[in-house]
């Protein structure tokens, strides 16, 4: 691994961590789509700042872009507050309009200027190690500029989360309670919006606008499926983000394809795997739990059926293994296997194809009936 490769991976990891940290709160507060809106509208901030300064490398571009991001959110909220437009529609109105203005401005006024749309969308992470993009002080090389910027953003984000952890937590999970104890959640909301905008703008340079959305939403949502605790979710989200960065880099390396695109792909794959196979909340284990519950319920139902007909005239017919499925109205094959399980677990015994309750089975059946009467 060369130093250039190492630097690209470090930058990718730093970007992923910065985005994942914000992403956790976006996902929990159902604000994920604001990141989509922000990452589109930073373009207009960049364009306007560029027209004012005439310099593509000016730090004012970052300021302009961040302002545009915050402005977008305020505009969306303002529209919502009129009561005329719902949040989703407000987002869908604001960002295409601002984005269109930016595109028109570019196409009308900056024909000869290099404001590359592809770079905006895809990012320029592969250019990180170039000599013109390095941070140098007193003749020493401190690595790529964008890496330094990203690390600064991470520090600010972590600082924000640590300082306001309690406030973030309470305003995220119970905004009404937060208001009741005299703490206005709106300030935390604004802080969060500011931090998301800054992070989006800084990351946007590296991974491009749409992949900022991937890095904010996917690792955080994946972490959400893995834990119930906010602090652990933050840690998981960062780990998954870094995993996306490293795996994405090598995928891109082998395919000779876009690094940002590969990172998003890996993020999607990791989310998909978690969605199906997460230990507790994965679809597979939920499905399995449901199956076990279903089986347990059927067993209890079978035993109850046996108690109802125990010692009656129709017992020989009702409790006959051959015809049991007709009385319970279950699938024949499934009935067999439930009956088999009853015998296996010593809840019933079989004589001449007729099921009879054992003492253990009788207790379980009576308990089930008891629960039933308690419920009603």
Partner 1 sequence: MFESLSVPGLGSVVAGTALLGFLCGTLGTFAVLRKQSLMGDAISHACLPGLILAFLLFNSKESWALMLGAAISGTIAAMAILGISRFSRVKEDSALAITLSVFFGFGLMLLTWVQRRPDAAQAGLARFLFGQAATLLDRDVWLLAAIAIPCLITVFIFWKHFQLVCFDRSFAQSLGFPVFFIDVLLSLLLVMVIVAGLETVGVVLMSALLVAPAVAARQWTNKLEIMAILAGIFGAFSGIAGAILSNIGKTSIPTGPVIVLFITLIVFLSILFAPARGIVWLQFKHWRDSKVLQLDSVLSNLLNLAREHSGKQNGHSMAMLKGISSNPSGVPRSVHKLLEMGLVSEVDKGLYIPTTKGAEYLNEKTSHMGAPLK
What lies within 8 Å, CB to CB, of 255 at 6+ separation is 262
8-state DSSP, 357:
E
Candidate residues 21, 22, 225, 302; the one interacting with partner 1 per rule CB under 8 A? 225
Candidate residues 48, 153, 220, 348; the one interacting with partner 1 per rule CB under 8 A? 220
Q: Would you count residue 118 as binding partner 1 (CB under 8 A)? A: yes
Contacts for 71-76 with beta carbons within 8 Å, 24 or more apart?
Answer: 71/41, 71/45, 72/34, 72/37, 72/38, 72/41, 72/98, 73/34, 73/37, 73/38, 73/193, 73/197, 76/34, 76/37
Q: Would you count residue 265 as binding partner 1 (CB under 8 A)? A: yes
Stretch that binds partner 1, among 118-126, 293-301, 315-323, 331-339 (CB under 8 A): 118-126
Stretch that binds partner 1, among 29-37, 131-139, 229-237, 352-360 (CB under 8 A): 29-37
CB of 146 to partner 1, least distance (A): 19
CA distances from 309 to 316, 318, 320, 357 (A): 9, 7, 11, 10
Stretch that binds partner 1, among 10-18, 104-112, 135-143, 145-153 (CB under 8 A): 104-112
Q: Would you count residue 47 as binding partner 1 (CB under 8 A)? A: no
User: Which SS3 state, helix, strand or coil, does residue 367 take?
Assistant: helix
The answer to whether 158 and 240 are in contact (CB under 8 A) is no
From residue 266 to residue 285, what is the string marking binding to partner 1 with x (rule CB under 8 A)? -xx--x---x-----x-x--
CB of 259 to partner 1, least distance (A): 9
Q: Which two tokens stand for residue 120?
A: 């905006």
Q: Residue 375 burial by CB count (10 A; 0-12/13-18/19+): exposed, middle or buried?
A: exposed
Q: Would you count residue 232 as binding partner 1 (CB under 8 A)? A: no
Q: Residue 304 burial by CB count (10 A; 0-12/13-18/19+): exposed, middle or buried?
A: middle
Alpha helix positions (H), 29-137: 32-53, 60-81, 87-109, 117-122
Q: Which two tokens stand for residue 29?
A: 């507060």
Candidate residues 25, 50, 204, 224; the one interacting with partner 1 per rule CB under 8 A? 224
Least Cα distance to 130 among 181, 46, 57 occurs for: 57
Q: Would you count residue 5 as binding partner 1 (CB under 8 A)? A: no
Candidate residues 6, 52, 117, 155; the one interacting with partner 1 per rule CB under 8 A? 117
The residue among 220 and 319 lying less far from partner 1, judged by its C-beta, is 220
Q: Would you count residue 41 as binding partner 1 (CB under 8 A)? A: no
Tell which positions 291-350 bind partner 1, by CB under 8 A. none
Q: Would you count residue 86 as binding partner 1 (CB under 8 A)? A: yes
Q: Would you count residue 263 as binding partner 1 (CB under 8 A)? A: yes
The residue among 198 and 258 lying less far from partner 1, judged by its C-beta, is 258
Which residues make up the interface to partner 1 (CB under 8 A)?
26-27, 30-33, 35-36, 40, 79, 82, 84-86, 88-89, 91-93, 95-97, 99-101, 103-104, 107-108, 117-118, 121-122, 210-211, 213-214, 216-218, 220-221, 224-225, 251-252, 255-258, 260-265, 267-268, 271, 275, 281, 283, 286
């Amino acid at each position: 691994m060369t130093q250039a490769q190492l630097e690209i991976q470090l930058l990718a990891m730093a970007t992923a961590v910065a985005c994942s940290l914000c992403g956790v709160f976006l996902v929990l507060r159902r604000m994920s789509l604001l990141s989509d809106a922000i990452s589109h509208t930073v373009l207009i901030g960049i364009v306007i700042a560029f027209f004012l300064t005439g310099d593509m490398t000016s730090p004012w571009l970052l300021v302009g872009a961040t302002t545009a991001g915050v402005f977008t959110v305020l505009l969306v909220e303002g529209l919502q507050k009129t009561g005329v437009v719902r949040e989703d529609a407000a987002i869908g109105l604001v960002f295409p309009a601002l984005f269109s203005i930016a595109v028109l401005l570019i196409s009308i006024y900056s024909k000869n200027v290099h404001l590359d749309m592809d770079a905006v969308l895809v990012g320029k992470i592969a250019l990180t190690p170039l000599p013109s993009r390095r941070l140098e002080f007193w003749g020493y090389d401190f690595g790529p500029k964008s890496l330094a910027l990203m690390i600064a953003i991470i520090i600010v984000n972590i600082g924000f989360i640590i300082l306001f952890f309690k406030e973030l937590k309470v305003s995220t999970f119970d905004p009404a309670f937060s208001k009741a104890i005299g703490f206005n959640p709106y300030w935390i909301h604004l802080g969060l919006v500011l931090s998301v905008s800054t992070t989006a703008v800084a990351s946007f340079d590296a991974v491009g606008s749409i992949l900022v959305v991937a890095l904010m939403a996917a690792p955080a949502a994946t972490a959400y499926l893995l834990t119930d605790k906010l602090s652990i979710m933050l840690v998981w989200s960062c780990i998954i983000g870094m995993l996306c960065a490293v795996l994405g880099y090598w995928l891109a390396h082998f395919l000779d394809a876009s690094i940002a695109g590969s990172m998003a792909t890996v993020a999607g794959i990791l989310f998909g795997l978690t969605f199906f196979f997460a230990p507790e909340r994965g679809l597979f284990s939920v499905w399995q739990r449901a199956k076990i519950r279903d089986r347990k319920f059927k067993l209890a139902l079978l035993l109850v059926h046996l108690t109802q007909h125990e010692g009656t005239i129709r017992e020989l017919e009702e409790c006959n293994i051959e015809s049991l499925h007709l009385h319970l109205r279950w699938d024949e094959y499934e009935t067999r296997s439930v009956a088999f399980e009853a015998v296996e677990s010593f809840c019933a015994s079989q004589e001449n194809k007729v099921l009879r309750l054992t003492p253990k089975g009788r207790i379980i059946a009576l308990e089930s009936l008891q629960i039933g009467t308690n419920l009603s």
